[in-house]
Amino acid sequence: MSRSFDVVVIGAGPAGYVGAIRAAQHGLSVACIDEWQNRDGKYAFGGTCLNAGCIPSKALLESSELYHKAQHDFKKHGIKTGGVEMDIAAMQKRRAGIVRQLTGGIGGLFKANKVEGLIGHGKLLAGKKVEFTPVDGEVEIIEAKNVILASGSAPVELGIAPFDGEHIIDSWDALELGAVPARLGVVGAGVIGLELGSVWARLGSEVTILEALDDFLFMADRDVAKVAGQEFRKQGLDIKLGTKVIKAKAGKSGVTVDYEDADGKQSVEFDKLIVAVGRRPVTDGLLADDAGVQLDERGFIVVDDECRTQVSGVYAVGDCVRGPMLAHKGSEEGVMAADLIAGEIAEVNYDVIPSVLYTNPEIAWAGQTEEQVKASGRPYKTGSFPFMASGRAKAMEQTAGMVKIISSQDDDEVLGVHIVGPMAGELIAEAVLALEFAASTEDLQRTIHAHPSLAEAMHEASLAVDRKALNFPNK
Ligand code: FAD
Ligand code: NAD
């Protein structure tokens, strides 16, 4: 007799495993199928985020930042270190250890919440049946009352620069390099290009980033993008905008990249080339022809605002559906789908999803950019406060950047918060809460912020919106 579950989740990344746990918390019987295999041959839950994305990248960003600080910043604090040495093998061992602990933790969470974790391939058949092909054992047809598809995404491959895993590499390869490439090229000055470019630049690579668009960080507020671009260039990242890559060819000793920019056709040599030009939804082998679930022209699973597909009882969440490809967006969708299956009212506020770039300085924002508010025609006011005037930032020797707040002129509502500076990724949480509760600028102004703290910059920026900043001259 075939097994049956109230909910079968396909994919155990941050969208799928969180959805599975929430469904089980509702008292539903849940199975979560995943086939992720790491380079050591071991299977692991956690998807891209835990195995090859958010977590390993942040581990290396932290290590490389400390190495850079020990070399360049300690002396400003009056600390003499002598020769600072890098041990890449130890750095990578730490990264792998963190990944192992967190991915192993999901197995523990599944047990604690009574989710059946199944290792292998899942395929949705007609009638909400799921074909499960375990990594070892017989194919099984599982009956499901509800299905959540959470199959994630994979790097986009360029036909003019195909991945070879050795010289032309994707973000996963770039996280597992065993040595620092002397000359590192990156195609794409997006989130991955800037984060991984920063890691290897801090560890000693000469990094060149080739970006097709003329605008740097087109999705960010222009004031923030300008400051960030200046800081990254000061750090030695050579960011070439308006660059069309024509061809990348790997040879014995590296990669030759032909490109065209405003100065005409050029050629450059790298030891390694990371191609980070976006990610595409993964749906290979996920859907039987008669499963009834539709894909859009870009390959995303078509869903409504509540992540329902066209098939009743089948949901899709995370990177495989429309919207930003972010772990926290996927997790919230997983929770929403599970709550809806349990008969609860649930929604995701797509207008307030924070974005964070874990560069130095960090970049974070939530809500609308000034350009978006301007385009909407709503009268608005802005205020900003530079970290240069923050006592805490000065004590940390991290004074680059600012907090900028955009509020509506008519009812004082906070519409967008944009931060470039130290710990921006942590500071943005206050802005997300303010936006979620439709706070006014005055609410932020009247909220007491600890002194001395970086969060005071948020407070001062809210005061600056009404030209009432206390620790910086109002313009
Ligand atoms: P995934 O994490 O991709 O998981 C999908 C899972 O489904 C995988 O394990 C896959 O093996 C499995 N699967 C797919 N099809 C099947 C099938 N048919 N049967 C069985 N299993 C299947 N986001 C952030 O928010 N913050 C960050 O700091 C951040 N850093 C990143 C850094 C890098 C280098 C990269 C590449 C991404 C980063 N992201 C970050 C993006 C983040 O990783 C994704 O948004 C997130 O992982 C999406 O979650 P998901 O559950 O939808 O998909
Ligand atoms: P991205 O969309 O952030 O950036 C891709 C960049 O490549 C863009 O600037 C684009 O203009 C450029 N590009 C596209 N085609 C090009 C070409 N042929 N030549 C030169 N440039 C080209 O994509 P990504 O950096 O690959 O990241 C993928 C996803 O992973 C993103 O959606 C992001 O949300 C997620 N991610 C998030 C984080 C984070 O939250 N901190 C970190 C890493 C990745």
**pLDDT at residue 463 in the model:** 98
Query: Of residues 72, 121, 328, 451, which has the active-site annotation?
Result: 451
pLDDT per position as a tens digit, 15-46: 999 999 999 999 999 999 999 999 999 999 99
pLDDT digits (tens, 9 = 90+) for 243-289: 999 999 999 889 999 999 999 999 999 999 999 999 999 999 999 99
Given CA atoms 174, 59, 426, 101 in this order, what sign does their dihedral have?
positive
Contact call for residues 124 and 33 (beta carbons, < 8 A): no
pLDDT at 82: 85
DSSP string, 365-391: EEE--HHHHHHHT--EEEEEEEGGG-H
- Category of 306 on φ-ψ map: left (φ > 0), alpha (ψ -120 to 50) or beta: alpha
Residue in the block written with tokens 């923030």: 224
Q: Which ligand is nearest to the CA of 191?
A: 2
Sign of CA dihedral 205, 211, 214, 216: negative
> From the CA of 110, how far away is ligand 2's center (Å)?
32
Q: What is the pLDDT of residues 64-104, one digit of tens each?
A: 999 999 999 999 999 998 889 999 999 999 999 999 999 99
Distance CA 209, CA 212 (A): 10
> What pLDDT was estimated at residue 253?
84
DSSP symbols for 46-95: SHHHHHHSHHHHHHHHHHHHHHHHHHHTGGGGT----S----HHHHHHHH
177/165 Cα distance (integer angstroms): 11
Determine contact, residues 50/102, Cβ cutoff 8 Å.
yes
**Residue 1 pLDDT class (50, 70, 90 cuts):** low
For CA atoms 168, 171, 175, 176, the dihedral sign is: negative
Q: How far is CA 463 from CA 54, 66, 147, 317, 467, in A?
A: 34, 34, 48, 39, 6
Distance CA 384, CA 365 (A): 13
Closest CA to 132 of 118, 119, 147, 122: 122
Q: Is the pLDDT of residue 107 over 80?
A: yes
155 lines ligand 1 (CB under 6 A): no
Torsion angle of C-alpha atoms 426, 432, 433, 437, degrees rounded to 10: 170
Name the residue of 279, 282, 419 whose CB sits within 8 Å of the most ligand 2 atoms, as the mutation to test its pocket.
279
For the stretch 388-411, pLDDT in tens is: 999 999 999 999 999 999 999 999
* C-alpha–C-alpha distance, residues 192 and 195, integer Å: 5
What is the structure's pLDDT at 475?
Answer: 83
Q: Is 318 in the pocket of ligand 1 (CB under 6 A)?
A: yes
**Residue 53 Cβ contacting ligand 1 at under 6 Å:** yes
365/428 Cα distance (integer angstroms) = 6
On the question of pLDDT at 346 being above 80, the answer is yes
pLDDT of residue 206: 98
Helix (H) or strand (E) holding 421: strand 414-421
pLDDT (tens digit, 9 = 90+) per residue, 200-259? 999 999 999 999 999 999 999 999 999 999 999 999 999 999 999 999 999 988 999 999
Ligand nearest to the CA of 95: 1
CB of 21 within 6 A of ligand 1: the answer is: no
Give yes or no: 72 in active site.
no
Q: What is the mean pLDDT of residues 352-362?
A: 98
Q: 429: part of which helix (H) or strand (E)? A: helix 424-436
Distances (CA, A) of 109 to 80, 103, 106, 113: 45, 10, 5, 6
Report CA-CA distances (Å) from 34 to 14, 15, 130: 12, 12, 13
- Sort strands 129-134 and 140-149 into parallel, antiparallel or unpaired: antiparallel
| C-beta 151 within 6 A of ligand 1 | yes
CA of 77 to the centre of ligand 1 (A): 40
Conformational region of residue 288, where left means phi above 0, alpha means psi within -120 to 50, and beta covers everything else: beta
Cis peptide before 361 (omega within 30 of 0): yes
- Quick one: CA dihedral 229, 233, 239, 241, positive or negative? positive
- Burial, 284: exposed, middle or buried (Cβ in 10 Å; 0-12, 13-18, 19+)? exposed
- Count, residues in the chain: 475
Q: 171 in ligand 1 pocket by Cβ < 6 Å?
A: yes
Mean confidence (pLDDT) of the chain = 97
138: DSSP letter: -
| Nearest ligand (C-alpha, residue 118) | 1
**Distance between CA 283 and CA 312 in Å, rounded?**
19
Ligand 1: residue of 151, 169, 332 to mutate (most ligand atoms within 8 A of CB) is 151
The three-class DSSP label of residue 21 is: helix
234: part of which helix (H) or strand (E)? helix 222-234
Tokens of 177: 């390099």
